[in-house]
Chains A and B, each alone.
Chain A
Amino acid sequence: MISLDVAQLSKVYPDGTTALKDVSFQVNPGEAVVLLGHNGSGKSTLFRSITNFEQLTSGEVFIDGEPIQSLSKRKMRLVRKRIGMVFQDFNLIYNLSVFQNVLFGAMGQAKTSLHTFNWFAPKNLRMKAMECLDRVGLAHLANRRADALSGGQQQRVAIARMLMQDPELILADEPIASLDPKAGREVMDLLWEIVRERALTVFCILHQMDVAKEYGERILALKNGRLLFDRPMQEISDETLSLLYEQKDAAKLASYEEAGA
């Protein structure tokens, strides 16, 4: 079981853009948390900071109580192996086979990176890759090139690759933003089923309000790099959510923040 603790995190990019301002929250094992916020509110920056892809300006991120910034390269890889990521644009290696893409998910655990190449992969990894593909319903397409799949299928391959690493926490950055509504729903259902059956923790960026309401147990909202609110789904009214996206006047926002804190 993995726990995530973000403490007073701020991020200013070298060009002076303030992407995150004093953001603090925790994600407990087994939770399904949805992160909302308009474009440019800092959501992706937050995710990249959690896995140390982004140098923090101040504050700290703890995984299981350990601050990730002080980890050695090798230890950081071990932490990353435990955190599965799903991206808006899938990020497959498009001119390789579906099967090879899924095998690469084992890079963080195989004896060497070469052991995740189809030519050299041991039998157990190859079996596991097929099982992961089967779990997302694409075992029959293992031999296809990744770029010969539909968007929904590509995202499912990305999920299979993520399963390959046996993650404990899933960070999904707008996993359905590039998909049509039907494919998007299928991907969300699949992701949530997997989370349930493996008792994983999931932290998911969404921007469709209705989807967020349906899948989230707890909602975090970012606005202009600040945490606007953090509360269980059932305590959130439609009015609260609309507040997040509309350009309400600053005074009202401020009073809301105070009430929420």
Chain B
Amino acid sequence: MADQGKDRWQEEMPARAKRPSLGGFLLTVVVVAFLFSGLAGANLSVDRLFDGVLNLGHFTMQAVPPDTSRVPHVLGAIVETFEIALVGTAFGVMISLPVALLASTNTSPHPVVRTVTRGVVSMLRTVPELIWALVFVIAVGLGPLAGILTIIIDTIGFCARFFSERIEEIRKGPSQALESTGATQFGIIAGSVVPAGFPSFVGTSLFAVEKAIRSAVILGLVGAGGIGVELNTAMSMRMFDEALMIIILILIVVITVEQISTRIRKKII
């Protein structure tokens, strides 16, 4: 048995590795080429790395202790960021629900409406939010309004998609039960689809708020209002101690919001 097994499965036994296909081979070559070109572009050298570490040390020395003198002013900007996120998400969620209903197979009035709505939603999601922010800054000027509009767009791209996925999972029995009482399409959606999806909608919306707060911080960097504007100024004026204070405050706000949102989410599920 033993020596028979030696060269037995020669043909049947799978090879250790499969011979790569031509496409796979080319793709690998291209990716590796980009990898090297990217590393080269970053101008990596021991000197630069060393300088980088030194600079970081420099930054830290100057940043510690954080400058608390402008906290009241900075707090105003943080509140503004929070408000941008909250207002933007609130409107975004309100718009997302009808959009999701139009985009779902089981609630859409027509397949064409559904396809178009889906296309628009994924377009909103695909364009990065900083680009939306730049566009809105041009459209409505610097300040929180541009931030709010950006968050609204961002929220629709996120929530409409997940709302719609939930809506399509909803069992159709309860809807059919309402339909059989003589309910209108509106009645069926308001009475059965929305209530059944509600816990999931709330959960998704809370994620959207968390996401929006992080976005709203960044949006300030391009002038769309809030704390990002302050951080940008502090950094470019090399007031690192103030910058550190701002970063700490941002952390506190983000973590607090995430904690609250996690608690609420646990409660509804």
- Chain A residues 91-146 with CB under 8 Å of chain B are 91-96, 104-109, 113-114, 116-117
A78 near B182 with CB under 8 A, answer yes
Contact of A104 among B176, B181, B184 (CB under 8 A): B181
CB of B27 to closest CB in A, whole Å: 40
Given contacts A92-B174, A93-B191, A113-B187, contact A85 B180 (CB under 8 A): yes
Q: Which residues of B contact A165 (CB under 8 A)?
A: 181-182
Given contacts A93-B174, A95-B198, contact A113 B180 (CB under 8 A): no
Closest to A165 in B: B181
Closest to B268 in A: A95
Q: Which residues of A contact B184 (CB under 8 A)?
A: 77, 107, 113
Q: Mark B163-191, 1 if CB is under 8 A from A, else 0.
A: 00000000001101111111110110011
Closest to B175 in A: A91
- Chain B residues 181-222 with CB under 8 Å of chain A are 181-184, 186-187, 190-192, 195-196, 198-199
B192 near A77 with CB under 8 A, answer no
- A87 proximal to B (CB < 8 A): yes
How far, in angstroms, from A91 to B180 measured CA to CA in the complex?
A: 11
A91 near B173 with CB under 8 A, answer yes
Residue from A53, A106, A113 with most neighbouring chain B CB atoms (10 Å): A113
- Chain B residues 91-109 with CB under 8 Å of chain A are none
CB of A193 to closest CB in B, whole Å: 21
How far, in angstroms, from A95 to B195 measured CA to CA in the complex?
A: 7
How far, in angstroms, from A165 to B181 measured CA to CA in the complex?
A: 6
Given contacts A107-B178, A161-B181, contact A116 B192 (CB under 8 A): no
CB of A168 to closest CB in B, whole Å: 12
B177 near A107 with CB under 8 A, answer no
B183 near A87 with CB under 8 A, answer no
Q: Mark A140-181, 1 if CB is under 8 A from B, else 0.
A: 000000000000000000100110110000000000000000
How far, in angstroms, from A216 to B244 measured CA to CA in the complex?
A: 81
Q: Mark A77-95, 1 if CB is under 8 A from B, else 0.
A: 1111101110101011111
Q: Which residues of A contact B179 (CB under 8 A)?
A: 53, 80
Contact of A87 among B173, B181, B186, B195 (CB under 8 A): B173
B190 near A158 with CB under 8 A, answer no
Contact of B180 among A83, A89, A109, A164 (CB under 8 A): A83
Contact of A85 among B177, B191, B192 (CB under 8 A): B177
A96 near B195 with CB under 8 A, answer yes
- A201 proximal to B (CB < 8 A): no
Contact of B174 among A79, A91, A107, A117 (CB under 8 A): A91
B191 near A107 with CB under 8 A, answer yes
B190 near A114 with CB under 8 A, answer yes
B196 near A109 with CB under 8 A, answer no
Residue from A51, A84, A107, A164 with most neighbouring chain B CB atoms (10 Å): A107
Given contacts A81-B182, A108-B182, A116-B191, contact A158 B177 (CB under 8 A): yes
A residues with a Cβ closer than 8 A to B are 51, 53, 77-81, 83-85, 87, 89, 91-96, 104-109, 113-114, 116-117, 158, 161-162, 164-165
17 A-B residue pairs with CB within 8 Å: A53-B180, A77-B184, A79-B182, A80-B180, A87-B173, A89-B173, A93-B174, A104-B178, A104-B183, A107-B181, A107-B184, A107-B191, A113-B184, A116-B187, A116-B191, A117-B191, A161-B177
List 8 tightest A-B contacts by C-beta distance, closest first.
Answer: A108-B182, A113-B187, A81-B182, A107-B183, A91-B177, A91-B173, A77-B182, A80-B182
